[in-house]
Amino acid sequence: MTEMERMLSGRLYIAQGDEIAEAMSRSRRLQQRFNTADPLDMQTQMQALKELLGAIGEDSFINQTFRCDYGSNICIGRNCFFNYDCIIIDVCPVTIGDSVLFGPRVCVYTAAHPIDAEIRGAHLEYGRPVTLGSDVWVGGNAVINPGVTIGDDVVIGAGSVVTKDIPSHVIAVGNPCRVLRPITEADRKYWSDLRGEYRRDMGL
């Protein structure tokens, strides 16, 4: 196996060799194009993102600036919005569903290093994939760690550090992030009523 193949499969690898270097150089050039584009030139920004990422769905957008390792290991669904200064370290696949919102400075990490200092000092590292379902809102400055899966219809509180899987239909907060409570029908009714009030006020 090549170092790249080992990386993507979650085995120990060393981040060196032509394949990895070329992939990272490509990613950095495309990030530079995206991050330095005119902030009102959506066409140039979206073209850079489409070349950079493994997939980005219709009506999804990332605010400048954005950083990643490779980009090609990131797949984003439809109708997603990532706010300023998002970082995704994608040495393994990062799969994100539809209608996902990231607050500013959200970080998603798939990369990890051995606990043993001698092995770590030999530049060996590894990764674990991260998966987010649909209808997830991740608050600003949250960190999602390697190997985590977050279900559908989840709110992750600002500043949370997610170290373990989070089930669907909950609010989860803290460091380490834990389930605070389920999202209930009372929540849905409250926000539905406020939307109705908004529509009435706006004559919709």
The pLDDT, as a whole number, for residue 143 is 98
Residue type, 31: Q
Helices (H), the chain: 3-9, 18-36, 42-52, 117-121, 185-201
Q: Which helix (H) or strand (E) holds 37?
A: none
Question: Would you state the pLDDT for residue 170?
Answer: 98
E runs forming strands in the chain: 55-56, 61-62, 66-68, 74-76, 81-82, 86-89, 94-96, 101-102, 107-109, 111-112, 126-127, 130-132, 136-138, 143-144, 149-150, 154-156, 161-162, 170-173, 178-182
Q: Domains of the chain (ranges plus CATH)? A: 3-201 (2.160.10.10)
pLDDT digits (tens, 9 = 90+) for 182-198: 999 999 999 999 999 99
pLDDT of residue 106: 98
Task: Mark whether 113 is an active-site residue.
Answer: yes
Q: For a pLDDT cut of 70, what percent of the chain falls above it?
A: 100
Q: Is the peptide bond before 163 cis (omega within 30 degrees of 0)?
A: no
pLDDT, tens digit, 9 for 90 and up, residues 90-144: 999 999 999 999 999 999 999 999 999 999 999 999 999 999 999 999 999 999 9
Residue of 11, 29, 50, 113 marked catalytic: 113
